[in-house]
Structure 1
Amino acid sequence: MRLRLKQAWLKMRLGLATSALFRRSYRARRFAYLAPHIHLADPSIAADIAAGQVVLGGRSLLCGDRSPFLVHPPSEGFVRALYGFGWLAHCDASPLPEVRAHARKLVRDFLTLPEKERSPIADHPAVVARRVIAWVTHSGLLAEGEDRPGYERLLDQLARDGALLAVYARRPDLGVARLHAAVGLAFHALALDRGRRAIPRAEQALDMALAALVAPDGATQDRDCGTVALIAADLVAMLALYRVRQIAPPPAVASTLTDMIAFLRLLQHPDGGLTLMNGGGRIARDLAGEVIRSRRGPATLLTSAVETGFERLENAHAVLIADAGTPPRRSCAGRAGASALAFEFSSRADRIITSCGMPPGADAAIARAYRSAAAHSSVLIDGDGLGSLYDAMMVTGETETRLRPLAGAVAPLRARSETGETLTLGHRGFIDRHGYALERQLTLVDAFAGLIGRDRFDDLTGEARQRLVTIAFHLNPRLVPVRLSRPDAVVLRLPEGKPGYDQFVFEAPGHTVLVEESRVFEAGSPHNRSHCLVIEAEIAGSTEIGWRILPYMPEFV
């Protein structure tokens, strides 16, 4: 009942905001400033769109001479990308007049489509924000050769979208969508020729959203590093827009960007890509690199994101990134994965252990599977991870799949020994259902690119029943697992690796190591077929399972 009242109230507010009377205060006289961007663009994609082959959100639509706005879409992700207009970047990068003209035609198709015939997704907060940012960023393309009536239609739509964003940016029950809306509203105020009060109002909404939805360690409250990268890219462009306008930005914008870049560095592997846990796989390495390089002055390198629960160990030979299991806020749990106590491990040459990421264009059922604990290099007991997923209705009317994490994460500990630095993670979430507390100890070896692990299952009451434990290690798709005569060891080969860094051995003394098929998805990578190393063990009472990843030296194996 309470949710229905909130939905009705929001619907009324949005209806008022988009009425001719209220949207007037968001009506601009013209595009005043061209917002920059750091997203990569590919003119060949624009040529495909002009030819009627539209690939968005990981799905393809062959529409020929028809407008994609009038053709049944292949997926919800396609609709979000289509109505978000991020594809204008590819068209703006094209020097071909016919491609640029086709982009303007598609925008006109959208503008002439009655609002009731548009997909409801077109008015979702993040989609509206992306559309506003795309239009003010590529206003030169949109206004190129446009007549006065067409120009006015653009400004009319931007007035409507600005009014929507003003409502969304002040809704605390929208989760991180509120932050997207606030960022979009700031671009709206800075790039368009509006009244004197537009920028202060937008800055106030942005300050409130940043304070509510960005943790002190630089992560957004949804624990999604993909969201962090996208918001950070927007803030980089926003600060450039402030410089163009010769206006001092709010202190919170620059400080938040600094914190976000430090957080992204914590989650960055030596190859430049982000961890594939919690949305990092949807961010191309080029974009992550551009955001991180945008930092001026000395860079801050975090080793621990205390509020969000990510940890990093690093030495001259390797990097370890781990999730300590801190749960996200419930209203922000729509993207987080069940990655508690999962880790990823890289040598300086390439990744070795990773997560599965997220397939582009994944529908709800597939996305749920890739957010589950089984899609991470983590631990399961009787098939259960340290979190589950459930569907929840949002105030916008969308159905969102949220993470329900098990309570009981233990603060991580660090220690140093002659072998190397050790990170100890713990979780008590399995106690109620399975009777065991879990402790995961990860030691990054100082002498070479190696990792020594110990997973301990503690029967705190002495009454825990026999359980099946599964420990999974998803491999980099470029790694080729090769079995040895011993059942407890597997050699991992990088066919194109640097000599000395191209072979590793995974060992779990006393336990059979299974090799299973897996899939690993990272934006921009053509490789997704992979393997997963699995340790399965029946435990009864307190048990410790040790394993290690070391450079392969046949004379010692």
Structure 2
Amino acid sequence: MAASHNFSSRYRRLGDRLTARWIGLKSFPVTDLLEVEPRSIGSPELGRQIVSGQFVLQGHQVDLQHNALWDLSLSDQAAILDLHGSVWLDHLAAFGGRKSGAMAQAWVDLWIDRFGRGGGPGWRADIAGRRVLRWLHHSVMLLDGADSSRRADFVEALAKQAVFISKRWPSVSPGLPRFEALAGLISAALAIKLLHPLVAPATRALAHECRVQIDATGSIFSRNPEELLDIFSLLSWTAAALRAAGWTPADLHLDAIQRIAPTLRMLRHKDGGLARFHGGGRGFSGRLDQALAASGSRGFPQSGLAMGFARLSAGASSVLIDAGALPQGRASINAHASSLAFELTSGRHPVIVNCGSGRRFGEDWRRTGRGTASHSTLVIEDFVSAELGPRLWFSGQRRDALVNGPSEFPSALSLSTAGQKFEGGHNGFLAKTGLTHARTLTLSPDGDLLSGEEVLIAVAARDKLLFDQFMRRQGLQGFSCKLRFHLHPDIVVRIHPTGGQAVLILPNSETWALSTDATVKLALESSVYLERQALQPRATKQVVLSQSAISYATRINWVLTRTRPPEQLRRERDHEMRYAIQT
């Protein structure tokens, strides 16, 4: 099977090269370019880093002060493709200023000169679609001060890439890569009059992908919230571009937007960021709210889970819990062993987090971030609730799939006078220990108290036999279960002198007190916070509740209690009202 996929990947690359070379030799006498509204949002912080000569690509920190962008020596194929995708244009535009604009123009002009005739690694339909969208969105910046010759070269390069995508988009992997390819194709074909005949077949293809890749609940197979936002943004941008050009988007296209919007709204924390699960990040500041507002959809899912995630929300608090089935097969190449992990945000401040995706910092960090211990959940010994398995081909690269995860993951949401309650479980530790993890989280009506109950239990007779075997392997000395609460780096934590309580202090001086049973050991350990905007992993802390267990049932109870000054309460209510009006 691996050999088959390797051959398929080689065949695809050959097809890309031949098609790119053939198109590169052709002449496209185009000069007209419809001005496109800039829609993609970047990070001013990443833009600042690039302008100052710092750049991190897949764990490689490169020096732009002494090297031109396209002269960088990179051995990592993923880093090379990231570079050719040109998302750095979003960050330069977000940072702004003359130097950013000059760098952007120089790098794009150099790309056209070196690769515009069909050479280089950037001629793959999804990478070309990503690049075309950025060129279009930032065309005003890129063409500022351009003479007629430079403008003609720019438009012709866009046209060649669009024609290439029209030939090669079926060769890229289903999911986000195809959406990127088709969105770039449609946007370029609408902006260049000569390419208008490409619009209709591309919109039909996009409608088909919406039907097969986005389910009735607005979910995708990878269960990656940020990837869902990426797809949602691409669909929204494309719909807006079609309408602006006098076209009517397909019903399947518009229906997909309306299905995704409520799901994304459920995955939004109170601070406007996304839940960080299965390889996804929070999203750049403001991007989620802008996308939701532009969609015109204001609904929430009626009940239950959203893409396998449960949400508790009250007052200024939001809690998001991974309660669904793990992604399978190629959809799992970025997935994490995060069953029953949760995140807590208070107002504009993340409090309890997961370590996040380490993709930006290289393969070792990427693998570390996928482990169970990198999430705010319960861990038995050093076991994981799902394992990294065989390396599968996806979008031209080999990645580890997630295997041997939970087969059962019951969950329920309920409401009572005590507040909103989540009850869930998973059997990811069953094969090794005979134990099932059950978690109950209750958020009070005012959002000031989050209580948790963790139970490890051998349910059936067969489970007890497995547990007995596990205990014999442990030398009948019992085993360690650890409940991890990873903290955002902005949180200051103090351990009470008695050792039974941790006080979490937020940047706005709000505090959360984490307390537990007297029989449970509370300790502070090191952790990391992995985010796209940082040059390196950020050091942070985690509170760990641990207990030795020897029986068929072990229980840990804990409570997080918040205290806030009245003025802060008023500001939070005002902030929530503004969000409700905007989205």
TM-score by length of 1: 0.86
- Whether the aligned pair in 1 keeps the contact of 2:31 and 2:156 (CA below 8 Å) is no
The answer to whether 1:113 aligns with 2:114 is yes
Q: Could you report, residue by residue, the CA deviation over 1:33-76 in whole angstroms, capped at 9, with x for unpaired residues?
A: 22323344678977886x77253548653344752101324966
Aligned partner of residue 170 in structure 2, secondary structure: coil
What is the match of residue 354 of structure 1?
Answer: 353
The answer to whether 1:165 aligns with 2:175 is no
Instruction: Work out the CA distance in 2 between the residues paired with 1:320 and 1:118.
Output: 48
Amino acid at match of 1:14: D
Residues 1:89 and 1:544: Cα distance change in structure 2 (over 3 Å): closer
- Whether the aligned pair in 1 keeps the contact of 2:20 and 2:117 (CA below 8 Å) is no
Superposed, which structure 2 residues align to 1:216-365 within 5 Å? 216-281=216-281, 283-296=283-296, 298-300=298-300, 304-306=304-306, 308-348=307-347, 350-359=349-358, 361-365=360-364
- Whether the aligned pair in 2 keeps the contact of 1:520 and 1:529 (CA below 8 Å) is yes
What is the match of residue 84 of structure 1?
Answer: 85
Aligned partner of residue 272 in structure 1, secondary structure: coil
What is the match of residue 209 of structure 1?
Answer: 209
Q: Could you report, residue by residue, the CA deviation over 1:379-407 in whole angstroms, capped at 9, with x for unpaired residues?
A: 22231222222452426542223333514
What is the match of residue 427 of structure 1?
Answer: 426
**1:480 pairs with one of 480, 492, 508:** 492
Aligned partner of residue 537 in structure 1, secondary structure: strand
Range 82-91 or range 455-464, more displaced: 82-91
The answer to whether 1:510 aligns with 2:519 is yes
**1:10 pairs with one of 9, 12, 15:** 12
- Whether the aligned pair in 1 keeps the contact of 2:392 and 2:401 (CA below 8 Å) is no
- Whether the aligned pair in 1 keeps the contact of 2:173 and 2:395 (CA below 8 Å) is no
Amino acid at match of 1:446: P
Amino acid at match of 1:471: L
Aligned partner of residue 546 in structure 2, secondary structure: strand
Range 169-178 or range 186-195, more displaced: 169-178
Residues 1:99 and 1:240: Cα distance change in structure 2 (over 3 Å): same
- Whether the aligned pair in 2 keeps the contact of 1:377 and 1:471 (CA below 8 Å) is yes
Instruction: Work out the CA distance in 2 between the residues paired with 1:449 and 1:125.
Output: 49
Instruction: Work out the CA distance in 2 between the residues paired with 1:139 and 1:400.
Output: 34
**1:542 pairs with one of 544, 548, 553:** 553
Range 167-176 or range 359-368, more displaced: 167-176
Instruction: Work out the CA distance in 2 between the residues paired with 1:28 and 1:331.
Output: 41
Amino acid at match of 1:331: R
Q: Could you report, residue by residue, the CA deviation over 1:64-104 in whole angstroms, capped at 9, with x for unpaired residues?
A: 47521013249666534431223334556788667645433
How much does 1:199 deviate? Answer: 0.9
After superposition, the CA RMSD in angstroms is 3.4
Amino acid at match of 1:490: A
The answer to whether 1:458 aligns with 2:460 is no
Instruction: Work out the CA distance in 2 between the residues paired with 1:295 and 1:479.
Output: 34
Residues 1:281 and 1:209: Cα distance change in structure 2 (over 3 Å): same
How much does 1:138 deviate? Answer: 2.5
The answer to whether 1:440 aligns with 2:426 is no
Range 540-549 or range 26-35, more displaced: 26-35
Amino acid at match of 1:87: W
Amino acid at match of 1:336: A
Instruction: Work out the CA distance in 1 between the residues paired with 2:403 and 2:153.
Output: 44
What is the match of residue 490 of structure 1?
Answer: 502
Amino acid at match of 2:62: L
Amino acid at match of 1:198: L
Instruction: Work out the CA distance in 2 between the residues paired with 1:479 and 1:44.
Output: 21
Amino acid at match of 2:541: H
The answer to whether 1:551 aligns with 2:562 is yes
- Whether the aligned pair in 2 keeps the contact of 1:10 and 1:395 (CA below 8 Å) is no
- Whether the aligned pair in 2 keeps the contact of 1:504 and 1:551 (CA below 8 Å) is yes
Instruction: Work out the CA distance in 1 between the residues paired with 2:506 and 2:97.
Output: 42
The answer to whether 1:38 aligns with 2:35 is no
Instruction: Work out the CA distance in 1 between the residues paired with 2:189 and 2:48.
Output: 32
Aligned partner of residue 324 in structure 2, secondary structure: coil
Amino acid at match of 1:20: W
Instruction: Work out the CA distance in 2 between the residues paired with 1:331 and 1:5.
Output: 17
Instruction: Work out the CA distance in 2 between the residues paired with 1:44 and 1:546.
Output: 40
Instruction: Work out the CA distance in 2 between the residues paired with 1:522 and 1:248.
Output: 38
Q: Could you report, residue by residue, the CA deviation over 1:439-459 in whole angstroms, capped at 9, with x for unpaired residues?
A: 111111225511111122221
TM-score by length of 2: 0.83
Aligned partner of residue 219 in structure 1, secondary structure: coil
Aligned partner of residue 361 in structure 2, secondary structure: coil
Instruction: Work out the CA distance in 2 between the residues paired with 1:522 and 1:16.
Output: 38
How much does 1:484 deviate? Answer: 2.3
Instruction: Work out the CA distance in 2 between the residues paired with 1:292 and 1:228.
Output: 12
What is the match of residue 61 of structure 1?
Answer: 62
- Whether the aligned pair in 1 keeps the contact of 2:320 and 2:344 (CA below 8 Å) is yes
Residues 1:55 and 1:549: Cα distance change in structure 2 (over 3 Å): same
Residues 1:147 and 1:11: Cα distance change in structure 2 (over 3 Å): same
Instruction: Work out the CA distance in 1 between the residues paired with 2:530 and 2:45.
Output: 23
Q: Could you report, residue by residue, the CA deviation over 1:411-441 in whole angstroms, capped at 9, with x for unpaired residues?
A: 3112333322211111123222221122111
How much does 1:112 deviate? Answer: 2.2
Instruction: Work out the CA distance in 1 between the residues paired with 2:563 and 2:395.
Output: 54
Amino acid at match of 1:85: S
Aligned partner of residue 255 in structure 1, secondary structure: helix
Instruction: Work out the CA distance in 1 between the residues paired with 2:33 and 2:199.
Output: 13
Instruction: Work out the CA distance in 1 between the residues paired with 2:496 and 2:392.
Output: 50
- Whether the aligned pair in 1 keeps the contact of 2:453 and 2:556 (CA below 8 Å) is yes
